[in-house]
A and B are shown apart, each in its own frame.
Chain A
């Protein structure tokens, strides 16, 4: 490119870059700075306290609990979501009849796609309120009435500290599957049909076409999904804040790092300490994303 066109391009990028610097980069940098102070969040006066916040954080048992809950979500959410989304996407795409005309999806797959995608259209608090109502703890609750009628007994769901976190995990999965189903579905339809047909002519079963064709050709998409879902699992703030008792309860059984940040930053007047938590969360996210991308790296298949 000639020298003049650099200036031309830069003039177009200047405004978006400035906006990005002000609204994304600068808050990040400020959070790092505030994590080294005792800022309360509502007063212009604060002191520089070095790494005190991080030292306190290392001994904060509630934050450790929150971290543990995020790790449970981190394992459960991507595994379950990707598994379900893959299965459903595969069924929609090549689950139907296979004949001379090629491989087809199940009948009415457009409707299924729409139905599965619907949760994605709802905002998170709406999903949280709907599911909190479904999982009402009284015996006359929606889900309890059904399970009682078919002889499965009842549960207190979110009021039971042993299972409350898994109730939240379920709602996270329910809300995510649809999006990844559509994503995988799109990726699958990108795979040339003749590969499947050739495999079927060679006598491959549905199962082996899935493992030997679909999965390897979808690997890039799955890898990306995994990272996105991991980031979602490290957050989970909105669902926990709306659905659970307290929120974060009962007895901290559902608290997550995001909730601890919000509590400390806005409720306890400890914005400096909350910033330190934010910094820890930032690096955790970065490390987990890097490790996942590295661990799941495979050679790309060109077709």
Chain B
């Protein structure tokens, strides 16, 4: 399964193969030589009459060139989307490519000025989004978001997608990317196991501690986490903190505001994590396990809860017992929380882009508009088990337990669901912060030390002249 976290692990294995940084010097030189490519005056397609059904004026006969990252989601969904496009423009021919090595294959095409019309720029060797954006290679998606929706022509596309889509689309101050897949982060448990023991996921901290005590008495560890990759336990920490203090907590952190990490909500959540460790509610040795080991232990019933994203069910399919029902639930509310319990962290991923210099740019935009119809989004969820950013697209679908419980959490959270960007915006801060999460989860530092160390990292990032600062409103 391709997940953001797996990617980074795969990346460094590839980097280990590269072995030495020295080698990169040579490749830059080569790519510098290979750059150039002139504007051959192509029109970007279009030119037909712009109507509600065809808002970008796609010429029906213009061919469409689609390149899809064929990772954990496969590319069957894209073939289904292409069928929908073909149904609308029967005279067109579609060139489909499902590949994994995006950069090696597409860099020459961008440099040569003949990029494809639609790209799912994802995976381990994706073209760097920030570089594409700053060099003006990406089509502005404002027209797409303002176009009439396929399902209801009286609505604009922007009103049919989760609000996170519009926020995540922004690069260099313009909407340039469609992040299509919605990831729901949650605590996960095995429903039959809980039903058998008469357990219910807890809503408040006191209830949660009582539940943990009961689970522990039954000889099961209440909580496991992927200790080798401490960002998973960070997910629990931040979810409790944001629910305690509201969205302002995470917006301040993402904007690198002074003392953002010293907020009382962060400290309260850090103390909660320490309490779980102190009371022996974390699986013994979980600090040293990677995602496969810890999640497998959880599948084997050695732990009751584990934090992860909505890719978990698919990722664990090969090892999960037949009667296992991967089920998402929320983290408990700390005392005095501002948000309700039934919301969670979400993020939008898989970078769908239309190159500015695409031969059939209008067709590319139309393809994205078709992707954002309920029919196409439903197909995606059906084929991959993952929700999309299209509102209500999963309605009436028969989903797996993991996908349907994640979807329920997504619906119940609504406007209260939150997202974070600092890890992607500030890569120099991301890894060190994970390290601090890990120290906290192992109870080697206090809550105050946690806040101080995290704040120091944020301050260093804010002061660093080489880092481009961003703010959230």
> A residues touching B (Cβ–Cβ < 8 Å)?
22-23, 26-28, 30-31, 33-34, 38-39, 41-44, 62, 125, 132, 136-139, 141, 156-159, 161, 237-238, 241-242, 244-247, 249-252, 261-263, 265-271, 274-275, 278
Contacts and interface: CB of A to CB of B under 8 A. Distances in A.
B229 to A, nearest CB: 8
B21 A159 contact: no
A26 B28 CA distance: 12
A242 B9 CA distance: 9
Contacts of B19: 237
A27 B285 contact: no
B24 A44 contact: no
Contacts of A38: 466
A136 B22 contact: no
Given A161-B444, A274-B21, A245 B230 contact: yes
Contacts of A157: 288
A137 B439 contact: no
Contacts of B229: 245-246
B287 A159 contact: yes
A267 B427 contact: yes
B285 A159 contact: yes
B466 A270 contact: yes
B288 A138 contact: yes
A135 to B, nearest CB: 8
Contact of A27 (B16, B26, B444): B26
A31 B466 contact: no
A156 to B, nearest CB: 5
Interface stretch (B173-181, B326-334, B430-438): B430-438
A44 B439 contact: no
Given A27-B25, A139-B285, A267 B431 contact: yes
Interface string B14-55: 011001111111101101100100000000000000000000
In the A-B complex, list the 4 residue pairs whose CB atoms are closest, starting with the nearest: A137-B288, A159-B288, A138-B285, A30-B25
Question: Interface SS of chain A: helix, strand, loop or mixed?
Answer: helix
B406 interface: no
B227 A159 contact: yes
18 contacts: A41-B24, A44-B28, A137-B286, A137-B289, A138-B284, A138-B285, A138-B288, A159-B442, A241-B13, A242-B16, A247-B12, A249-B435, A251-B435, A262-B16, A266-B11, A268-B428, A271-B24, A275-B21
B153 to A, nearest CB: 41
**Among B28, B31, B128: residue with most chain A CB under 10 A:** B28
Interface residues of B, number: 47
Contacts of B284: 138-139
Given A136-B293, A246-B228, A246-B435, A262 B285 contact: no
Contacts of A156: 285, 287-288
Contacts, number: 132
Nearest to A273: B466
Contacts of B128: 42
Interface of B: 11-13, 15-16, 19-26, 28-29, 31-32, 35, 128, 131, 134, 227-230, 283-290, 293, 297, 427-428, 431-432, 434-436, 438-439, 442, 444, 466
Given A252-B435, A267-B431, A28 B289 contact: no
Nearest to A255: B435
Given A159-B287, A249-B230, 8 more contacts: A125-B13, A138-B288, A246-B228, A247-B12, A251-B435, A251-B438, A262-B21, A278-B21
A137 B285 contact: yes
Nearest to A26: B26
A46 to B, nearest CB: 10
B21 A265 contact: yes
A30 B29 CA distance: 9
A81 to B, nearest CB: 22
A65 to B, nearest CB: 12
A33 B436 CA distance: 35
